[in-house]
Amino acid sequence: MSFMSLQVVRASAYVVTLADGSEQVVMCEDVWGDTGPHSRGATMAALAPYVTSDVMSYTVACGYWARYSAAGYLDCTPWVGPYLRAEGAAGGAAEQYGEEDDECADTERSPQWEGSTAPRAGA
């Protein structure tokens, strides 16, 4: 992945459970910009263009997220996270996508993510 660069952000994201049982991460800012909270029905409808299947449920997770992106192209890996620290997110992405970096060894997940079970309740 030498042509891709690491992106790490601190953000809120929807962790969406899809009809096929898979999960997808969608950044809240991508869906709503900087507007405030919305109803469950409005959120599920707004998520539809960002996912690959019908939305069954979602939860909001906050923390550090990471992915690899090819500058100047639309190519990027799915987001990995949330983590308590930026270093953890970088390490999580490196572990997920095969990059080795000893400086990114702390991959402690955000506590609000731990213990979550599918299907997740709406926000």
Residue 95 lies in a domain: yes
If one counts the domains in the chain, the total is: 1
Residue 120 lies in a domain: no
What is the model's pLDDT at position 108?
54
Identify the domain containing residue 38 by its residue range.
5-104
Q: What percent of the chain has pLDDT over 70?
A: 76
| pLDDT tens digits, one per residue of 11-60 | 999 999 999 999 999 999 888 877 767 888 889 889 999 999 999 999 99
Residue 49 lies in a domain: yes
Residue 8 has pLDDT above 90, yes or no: yes
- What distance in Å separates the CA atoms of residue 69 and residue 35, rounded to the nearest whole number? 26
